[in-house]
Chains A and B, each alone.
Chain A
Amino acid sequence: MASIHSAVLDLKRLDLLANGNSPIHRLDARAKVVVTLVFILCVVSYNRYELSALFPFFIFPAIMISQAGLPPLFILRKIALLCPFVLAVGIFNPVIDRGILLQLGPLGISGGWISFASILARSMLTVGAGFILVAVTGFTAVCQALERLGMPRVFAVQLLFLYRYIFVLTEESGRASRARELRSCGKKGQGIHSFGSLVGHLLLRTWQRAERIHMAMLARGFTGVFHASRPSRFGAPEIRFVLFWSTLFIVLRLQNVSQLLGSLITGLFP
């Protein structure tokens, strides 16, 4: 439970980063959401053996991190947190797909290894872009931007509530779990049974809290509609930002820049 607790603290830090005041931070959230979506679409649309064409895409996270003044190590650690999942997804590729695709001198590299590396690179790019988006925009603003871009309001409201109460719920579950640990004296306690009732209690408590929150909302005149209160502007800087990056991503997607660069260099120095 301690690790969940620190993960939540990290989430708070990610959120605090969004209070920064760089030119990237100041852009309208919609522009950043659109650019991130185009980026992710381009990256995931490659076929599974593509590796070299992915490398130029690292320019986007690199420039965003440096322009927005984000701590690069922190973002890297956040991405590394997801690595076990990626490994689980890709680890069997080298075993299943043994056809040699690339010959590096005496070393033959199988298609499985290449697709594994491709999965790794793609997840680093997409997850990294997601984290950077939240770190330069804030989760709330991302939700509001998604809503303005056409996501149904119900989803936006649910996401916002999830984000608001994830902190309360993890604190509550952390306390309950610590109490269980302390009384099980370093042993297993009563094993899975005690966990069952612990989770059940958490669910019931969450339910009660939801009722109280609803009551608090009704007490303040809630009638089922959330009123947007923040005006936002999609001006020239936003249009420039979207056009520049989207064009770049599409060009990178259509042209394998790594290969072009490679052939240019090998052409220059035969």
Chain B
Amino acid sequence: MSHHIVEVRNLQHVYADGTAALKDVSFIITHGESVGIIGANGAGKSTLLQHLNGSLEPTGGSIHIGHTPLSKGTLPDIRRTVGMVFQDPDDQLFMPTVFDDVAFGPLNLGFAPADVEERVTEVLELVGAGHLRDKPPYHLSGGEKKRVAIATVLSMSPDILVMDEPTNGLDPFARRQLMKLLCDFKHTRIFTSHDLDMVLELCGRVIVLHEGEVRADGPALEIFGNDKLLAECRLEKPLSMQNCSACGSKKSNVKSPDSSACQGR
């Protein structure tokens, strides 16, 4: 299963205006891992994600997806392997109906119409959006848009799922629904988020970015237990690890009970 590995070596990126967004980033993510990339605003999270499927070109360093170096020639294959879910679903859902949108990727990959039909139906059922298939995207709620956006990527059967702020802007119920969905996936998953409780529940491993560099990389509980590191990187403990705000009783390093249901730890 070597094609599920993501290897980033000494990645650097300088934007056209001279901003060095990534200074030196290296890590290896192996098959089936669920990794949260966290950091303050401007730490370089989104820039890093955009490199993973070749939306941005590195200024220095290299990226290997399953031992294939990312380059112009390998880009089509890599984009099929790495499914990218954007932060704003309005950017991702551009076709007239949900069905067309989910079918967009498979049709580009050259699948037969009958296969596309079957795959779209299957994927929409998987994310619980089967009833939305003929609706135009602007008639959907935020949570529905997000789930459909995930379906558009799943329909291409990626090996690696990359998601930018998946729970951003969702109400608590929709957030919980989405997290449950993401829990059940067997893909290699990479998330960026400021929703640290989500990261704690979904990710066994956390990479902390700070000013364009990897500041820490390790098990989620270990990272979130390190108060000094979190403070230096303008982060804080997930709410579920903080003391009770009403009575002050300690909940140190206690995982929320439903997190044990999660895969990929």
Q: Is the CB of A168 within 8 A of B138?
A: yes
Please judge, given known A-B contacts A12-B138, A19-B134, A229-B113, whether A212 and B94 are in contact too, CB under 8 Å: no
A40: interface (CB < 8 Å): no
Interface of B is mostly: helix
A209: interface (CB < 8 Å): yes
Q: Which of B55, B94, B100, B136 contacts A218 (CB 8 A)?
A: B55
In the complex, residue of chain B having the shortest beta-carbon distance to the beta carbon of A223: B108
Q: How far is the CA of A161 from the CA of B101 in the complex (A)?
A: 13
In B75-91, which residues have CB < 8 Å from any A CB?
76, 79-80, 83-84, 86, 88, 90-91
B34: interface (CB < 8 Å): no
In the complex, residue of chain A having the shortest beta-carbon distance to the beta carbon of B94: A213
In the complex, residue of chain B having the shortest beta-carbon distance to the beta carbon of A225: B108
B84 partner residues in chain A, CB cutoff 8 A: 216, 219
Q: Is the CB of B105 within 8 A of A164?
A: no
Q: Which of B50, B97, B100, B138 contacts A167 (CB 8 A)?
A: B138
Q: Is the CB of B100 within 8 A of A229?
A: yes
In B136-155, which residues have CB < 8 Å from any A CB?
136-139, 152-153
Please judge, given known A-B contacts A164-B96, A209-B91, whether A221 and B136 are in contact too, CB under 8 Å: no
In the complex, residue of chain A having the shortest beta-carbon distance to the beta carbon of B134: A19
What's the interface size class on B, roughly?
A: 35 or more
Q: How far is the CA of A260 from the CA of B76 in the complex (A)?
A: 68
Q: Is the CB of B108 within 8 A of A221?
A: yes
Q: Is the CB of A164 within 8 A of B108?
A: no
Q: Which of A168, A216, A227 contacts B107 (CB 8 A)?
A: A227
A165 partner residues in chain B, CB cutoff 8 A: 94
In A151-173, which residues have CB < 8 Å from any B CB?
160-161, 163-165, 167-168
Shortest CB distance A15–B (Å):
7
In B173-189, which residues have CB < 8 Å from any A CB?
none
Q: Is the CB of A140 within 8 A of B97?
A: yes
A15 partner residues in chain B, CB cutoff 8 A: 136, 139
A217 partner residues in chain B, CB cutoff 8 A: 94, 104
Q: How far is the CA of A218 from the CA of B152 in the complex (A)?
A: 13
B92: interface (CB < 8 Å): yes
In the complex, residue of chain A having the shortest beta-carbon distance to the beta carbon of B100: A229
In A238-259, which residues have CB < 8 Å from any B CB?
none
Shortest CB distance A233–B (Å):
15
In A220-235, which residues have CB < 8 Å from any B CB?
220-223, 227, 229, 231
Q: Is the CB of A221 within 8 A of B156?
A: yes
A220 partner residues in chain B, CB cutoff 8 A: 79, 104-105, 108, 152-153, 156
Q: Is the CB of B94 within 8 A of A161?
A: yes
Q: How far is the CA of A212 from the CA of B85 in the complex (A)?
A: 12
Q: Which of A139, A140, A164, A223 contacts B94 (CB 8 A)?
A: A164
In the complex, residue of chain B having the shortest beta-carbon distance to the beta carbon of A143: B96
Given contacts A209-B90, A216-B91, 17 further A-B contacts (CB under 8 A): A12-B138, A15-B139, A16-B139, A160-B96, A164-B96, A164-B137, A165-B94, A168-B138, A212-B91, A215-B86, A217-B104, A219-B79, A220-B153, A221-B109, A221-B156, A227-B107, A229-B116
A–B pairs, 18, beta carbons within 8 Å: A15-B136, A139-B96, A161-B94, A164-B94, A167-B138, A168-B90, A209-B91, A213-B94, A215-B50, A215-B86, A215-B91, A219-B79, A220-B156, A221-B76, A221-B79, A222-B104, A229-B103, A229-B113
State the A residues within 8 Å of B (CB): 12, 15-16, 19, 139-140, 160-161, 163-165, 167-168, 209, 212-213, 215-223, 227, 229, 231
- The 6 closest A-B CB pairs, nearest first, are A221-B108, A140-B96, A227-B107, A220-B105, A212-B91, A167-B138
